Structure 1
Amino acid sequence: MKCNICEIGCDLAEGQSGQCRMYINKDDRIIERFSNNYFTMFPVSIETVPLLHYYPRGTFLQVCTVGCNFKCEGCISEILASRLLSTNKKSGISNENVINKALHEDCIGIVFCLNDPAVSYFTFCDLANKARENNLLIGCSTNGYFTENALKELIPLIDFVNIGIKGYSDERYISCGARGSGPVFRNLKLLKESDVHVEVSTIYIKGSEDEVINTAKFVSSLSRDISFQVMRFVPFGDAAPQIEPTIRESEVLCGKLKQYLNHVYLFNSPGTDHLNTVCAQCSNIIFQREFFGPMGSRTLSYLPQGMCECSNPALFRGEVSEVSYHEPGFMGGYRITRALEMIHAILVCLGVKDDHKLAEIWANVMETGYLEEFHASSQDLNSYFDVIEHFAALADRKKEGMELVAYMREKLDFIRSVTNDIERPRVYYCMGYPLFALNGERIENNLVEAAGGESVNKLINREGKPGVGISHNEFCDMNPEFIFISGFLSTPVSDSYAYCKKYGLSADAIKNRRIYDLRPLWDFGSPRWILGLMYIANKLHPEIFNFDIDKEANQFYKRFYGVSFDSSRHNRSFYSVSSRQ
């Protein structure tokens, strides 16, 4: 029989599952294989989902299961979409538990996101019913590939939705394992006409500007006021870096989209001002926001009641919350997927290649609550070695763990011993544009200090995730002698100099042309930070250090990845060290 939940429409023989592997044909009925099987459940601010025009600053309970009906290159949720399926087991969390958790945490609603509710359709419908019974708002983030009948059954149960659009053409959807783009735009129109609050997010892959523009044109035919979120594509998996647009290129595209839509937002772009809600009539900033982790944002300030005197009163749905929830550690939005990838990165270096073993360890982290300790320990260079030993024990790879720790400790101890009593230059670490400063306690700034620098980021007395925007004056007062750009969400050095010129930023680092970028994931997220440490030491103290970085990288890659280092095949994956070209 044919599965009638999503438009891929898999043919399911008796006892068989389809592309998403989440349903089975049992006695000529479509049955959910893992019903009520939640992987995560924690409170978040609605802007991290992200939704920007719905109950701004409101606290919602974020839940997800595992699995996805799509197979997209460079997926930010690949871990939840596919890898955890190999050891999926009952979580012990019922929909009643979810409701009770939401009420206990003073959440005003529940949002299903991170993976797609289409693979847990019956669970989600039941959850939505129970949420309504308890006066909780309910909605989801989804690729929107439901069949028309499945969506019509869902619509009376939900209040809001963020539709993630892959592109306008059939080709973009075929590349994700779907049949074409038509069902998504049909469903978007149906949701809007049904008075469900709708926001749209769309992937921007370099060279696919027309896909985004044509999508914007369609959305504008429904309403110019729909929140339109451009997700700058960052190849989190093993996708090639050549298809990653820069922040600057993404901002240019957003400028073009504003001829069709009143509210265009840019995500995955630390330091951009394209996250602000601006009045379409007078250009006043109604909500000022900043980058808050992958796919997320947070509100910094807003006009009273979130209203400009001349703005459309129907722009936002729901009241602005007086209190904004701040997620601890890796909790909230898509940061948890990055945490699991960081664990994966360590396990790969220990020789763990089996997906089943990997998923077992991930499950252990979630069940034991180790994630909070992992967040703190992974930022400190010394305690990072304890983290390696922790996962080596879980993976029964103690010998390999000792070898990795010994290698990294030797390099770290040598660099520290040489820089112990030397004059330290002022060093500033940014992510994306220069005015987005990484939090002082992060591992990148600890690398700076180990390499013989003084981290000026530690002078900043406020924090975000992973950092905060700083003012022109704050930057100039710190007057860094060196600037490093994060290897995680970066921007080209040339764009950084152009930004500094445009905004009149002055510092010794700019004057002396000492802005440097890190190779992806050589300063955060994997044991490769030991290579980043050597690179930083070379730049800060060339009179002392002369590491042959390519040679060091080749030795590390051969020893712990079993492959040679190839600088032309880098990517932004924490655990994979080469991309598909």
Structure 2
Amino acid sequence: MKCPVCEIGCDIPEGGVGRCGMYTCLGKGIAEIHGNSYMAMMPISMETIPILHYIPGAKVLQVSSVGCNFSCRGCISGIFTSNPRSVSGALKRVPPEKVVSKAIDEGCEGIAFCLNEPLVSYYTVMGVAEEAAKEGLFTGISSNCYFTKSAAHFLSNTIDFINIGFKGASDARYRDCGVMSSEPVFRNLKLFHDAGVHVEASVMHLKGMENEVVGTAEGISGISSDIPLQIMRFVPFGDAAIDLEPPVSSSELLCNGLKDILDHVYLFNSPGTPMLNTYCPKCGSLIAEREFYGPMGSKTKWFSPGGRCTCGYVLPLKGEFREGVFHEEGMMGGYRPTRGFEMVLAILECLDVRDGIKLDWLWKDLIKENYLAYVHEKLASFETYYEMIRDLSRRTGKIDEGEDLVCYLEAKSRKVTEKAGNLPVSKRPNVYYSMGTPLFGLISTRFENSLVECAGGRSLNRRITRKGKPGVTLSKEEFECLNPDYVIVSGLFSSPASDYMDFCIREGLDAGAVSNGRIFNMVPGWDFGSPRWILGLMHLANILHPDIFSFDLERERKEYYMMFYRDSDYDITNRSFVKYLP
């Protein structure tokens, strides 16, 4: 029987499954294999989904399952979408009325299906939306929107908002994701918009594929120039090449150029960019101020009452801004859980845990135990990181391998401490750790601060007291008050050091690091999330104190990789913490 949900149109035999692995044929109909079953439920804010023009700041219950009907390179959610069978045992069955009750108990105004692809849980979404409406809650989804026309039609009568994630405008881009055409997505966008559903769109910006973004914007403008477009600067994870990642400056240039096509264009995955803000399309005045809040996410700092500009323009907005924006704890909410579980994988990779069955059972246990809260706690220091290694080694029967890894990290870090630990304050340079753009500084509790201090620097980021994930946007005055001797550019959401220098010169940022040209990039994966942070520590020591440190980083890299990856040429060349997802 042909699946009626997705435009791929899988012909599913009796008892068989479709390509997404989430539907089967039972008797005369198609049914979900894991209906009303969830991997996670957690409260988030609307901007974390992200949705920007629908009740901004509202608290909603994010619900997530597993699986996807697409197969995209570098998928940020690959750990939960590429092999749903491996984590399906961790799914918890919750009937629609219980989901709604949890949303109410958490003080949420609505429910949002995101993280994995809601299309593979179509009937579950419909059931929850209908139940939510009875209790006065709204429902929305973040989806690739590859629904059949009939499925989209029925859904449009049930949900209140949708973020449609475009891969681009051309059929070629969609073939890269394993489907045939972009046409169903544009068709469904119009269908949802015409039905009165609040629609926002997002599109990936891959380096060299700017025409795909422009084409998407043009297609959207043919429906309505009021539809917000979120440009997702591509950050390569999984199997995606790092040369597909555009610099923040290139994405900003592209974003600026689209303002002649659409009224409201936003830039994500670019920490510190002002292009997350809402500006009046008539006079250019600020209407809403936001900042980066983890992968694909943002947080609203300020919103003009009613979305009204001083010139009289009124933002096309549904609902009033909610004061006191909800902040998710730890790694919870949005796409942050995917990074947390990849950090676990990075340790397991070093422990040589390759047994698929063992991994399946481990994932089930970790998800059921809410292990992400534990991971966040253990990222506070070297010592707590060692505790996490030992815990995972016990769970997987790799105790000796875990001790070998801990001993290696302790021995290498001790070599740094022995030389840098007794440096007087006058010999410790002031170091500022930034991400994406110079004015986005990591918060005081981040692991990178420990690296700086162990390497003989004074972490200026310890002085940042505001909340943020993973940092906050500083003013020019705050940056200059810090006056760093060195600026280190994070290896995660990164930019070339040359772009940093150009930004500082263009914006007139005055600091010792700028005048002395002391802006340095961290190697991807060497400062956070993976035991490879030990290489980042040695890299930092070489940078901050070349008079006392001269680590041969290529030799150290090969030694580490041979010991823990059993291959001296093993390498990870993108932003992932691991080379391959299971």
Taking structure 2 as the reference length, the TM-score comes to 0.97
Matches within 5 A, 1:7-46: 7-46=7-46
Q: Deviations over 1:234-260 (max 9, x none)?
A: 111121101110100001111111110
Which AA in structure 1 matches 2:188? Answer: N
After superposition, the Cα gap between the structure-2 partners of 1:574 and 1:355, relative to the gap in structure 1 and judged at 3 Å, is farther
1:445 corresponding residue in structure 2:
449
User: Residue 229 of structure 1: SS of its match in structure 2?
Assistant: strand
Match status 1:144 vs 2:177? no
Cα shift at 1:312 = 4.5
1:282 corresponding residue in structure 2:
283
Matches within 5 A, 1:198-237: 198-237=199-238
Q: Contact 1:83 / 1:359 at 8 angstroms: preserved in 2?
A: no
Cα shift at 1:323 = 2.2
- 2:539 aligned residue (511, 514, 535): 535
Match status 1:467 vs 2:468? no
- 1:503 aligned residue (504, 507, 513): 507
Give 5+ residue unaligned stretches, structure 1.
Answer: none
Q: Contact 1:344 / 1:358 at 8 angstroms: preserved in 2?
A: no
1:434 corresponding residue in structure 2:
438
Q: Deviations over 1:555-576 (max 9, x none)?
A: 1111111222467x61111111
When the two structures are aligned, how many residues end up with a matched partner?
A: 577
- 2:50 and 2:458 map into 1 onto residues whose CA distance is 36
Which AA in structure 2 matches 1:228? Answer: L
Taking structure 1 as the reference length, the TM-score comes to 0.97
- 2:312 and 2:374 map into 1 onto residues whose CA distance is 45
Q: Deviations over 1:103-162 (max 9, x none)?
A: 011111000001111101111111111111111000100000000011111111100000
1:412 corresponding residue in structure 2:
413
Q: Contact 1:385 / 1:405 at 8 angstroms: preserved in 2?
A: yes
- 1:494 and 1:359 map into 2 onto residues whose CA distance is 43
After superposition, the Cα gap between the structure-2 partners of 1:262 and 1:355, relative to the gap in structure 1 and judged at 3 Å, is farther
Matches within 5 A, 1:6-405: 6-89=6-89, 90-310=91-311, 312-313=313-314, 315-405=316-406
- 1:359 and 1:324 map into 2 onto residues whose CA distance is 37
- 1:149 and 1:577 map into 2 onto residues whose CA distance is 37
Cα shift at 1:305 = 3.0
Q: Contact 1:427 / 1:448 at 8 angstroms: preserved in 2?
A: yes
Q: Contact 1:550 / 1:565 at 8 angstroms: preserved in 2?
A: no
Cα shift at 1:577 = 7.6
Cα shift at 1:96 = 2.3
- 1:16 and 1:258 map into 2 onto residues whose CA distance is 47
- 1:14 and 1:562 map into 2 onto residues whose CA distance is 45
2:576 corresponding residue in structure 1:
573
Which AA in structure 2 matches 1:109? Answer: G
Give 5+ residue unaligned stretches, structure 2.
Answer: none
- 1:247 and 1:28 map into 2 onto residues whose CA distance is 51
Q: Contact 1:281 / 1:311 at 8 angstroms: preserved in 2?
A: no
Q: Contact 2:87 / 2:363 at 8 angstroms: preserved in 1?
A: no
Which AA in structure 2 matches 1:326? Answer: H
Which AA in structure 1 matches 2:30? Answer: I
User: Residue 328 of structure 1: SS of its match in structure 2?
Assistant: coil
- 1:545 aligned residue (542, 549, 563): 549
- 1:78 and 1:283 map into 2 onto residues whose CA distance is 39
Q: Contact 2:413 / 2:534 at 8 angstroms: preserved in 1?
A: yes
Q: Contact 2:491 / 2:521 at 8 angstroms: preserved in 1?
A: yes
Structure 1 residue runs of 4 or more that deviate by more than 4 Å after TM superposition: none
Q: Deviations over 1:488-540 (max 9, x none)?
A: 00000110000000110111111111110011110011111000000001111
After superposition, the Cα gap between the structure-2 partners of 1:577 and 1:28, relative to the gap in structure 1 and judged at 3 Å, is closer
Q: Contact 2:238 / 2:580 at 8 angstroms: preserved in 1?
A: no
Cα shift at 1:84 = 4.3
Q: Deviations over 1:45-70 (max 9, x none)?
A: 10010000000111010001000000
Which AA in structure 2 matches 1:536? Answer: L
Q: Contact 2:432 / 2:488 at 8 angstroms: preserved in 1?
A: yes
User: Residue 260 of structure 2: SS of its match in structure 1?
Assistant: coil
Q: Contact 1:32 / 1:122 at 8 angstroms: preserved in 2?
A: yes
Cα shift at 1:314 = 5.7
Cα shift at 1:361 = 2.3
User: Residue 217 of structure 1: SS of its match in structure 2?
Assistant: helix
Which AA in structure 2 matches 1:172? Answer: R
Which AA in structure 2 matches 1:469? Answer: T
- 1:577 and 1:484 map into 2 onto residues whose CA distance is 27
Q: Which moved more, 1:139-148 or 1:502-511?
A: 502-511
Q: Contact 2:303 / 2:321 at 8 angstroms: preserved in 1?
A: no
Which AA in structure 2 matches 1:562? Answer: R
Q: Deviations over 1:453-495 (max 9, x none)?
A: 0001111221200000111111111111111000000000110
User: Residue 287 of structure 1: SS of its match in structure 2?
Assistant: strand
Which AA in structure 1 matches 2:66? Answer: V
Which AA in structure 2 matches 1:113? Answer: C
Which AA in structure 2 matches 1:68? Answer: C
Report the identity percentage: 48
Cα shift at 1:362 = 2.8
- 1:372 and 1:341 map into 2 onto residues whose CA distance is 14
Which AA in structure 1 matches 2:579? Answer: S
Which AA in structure 1 matches 2:458? Answer: E
Cα shift at 1:224 = 1.2
Q: Contact 1:87 / 1:356 at 8 angstroms: preserved in 2?
A: no
- 2:562 and 2:580 map into 1 onto residues whose CA distance is 11
Which AA in structure 1 matches 2:29? Answer: R
Q: Contact 2:144 / 2:166 at 8 angstroms: preserved in 1?
A: yes
Q: Contact 1:427 / 1:481 at 8 angstroms: preserved in 2?
A: yes
User: Residue 114 of structure 1: SS of its match in structure 2?
Assistant: coil
Cα shift at 1:359 = 3.7
Which AA in structure 2 matches 1:40? Answer: A
- 2:342 and 2:580 map into 1 onto residues whose CA distance is 13
User: Residue 110 of structure 1: SS of its match in structure 2?
Assistant: strand
Q: Contact 1:570 / 1:577 at 8 angstroms: preserved in 2?
A: no
Which AA in structure 2 matches 1:232? Answer: R
Which AA in structure 2 matches 1:46? Answer: M
Which AA in structure 2 matches 1:408? Answer: L
Q: Contact 2:80 / 2:87 at 8 angstroms: preserved in 1?
A: no
Which AA in structure 2 matches 1:33? Answer: I
User: Residue 332 of structure 1: SS of its match in structure 2?
Assistant: coil
Cα shift at 1:311 = 5.1
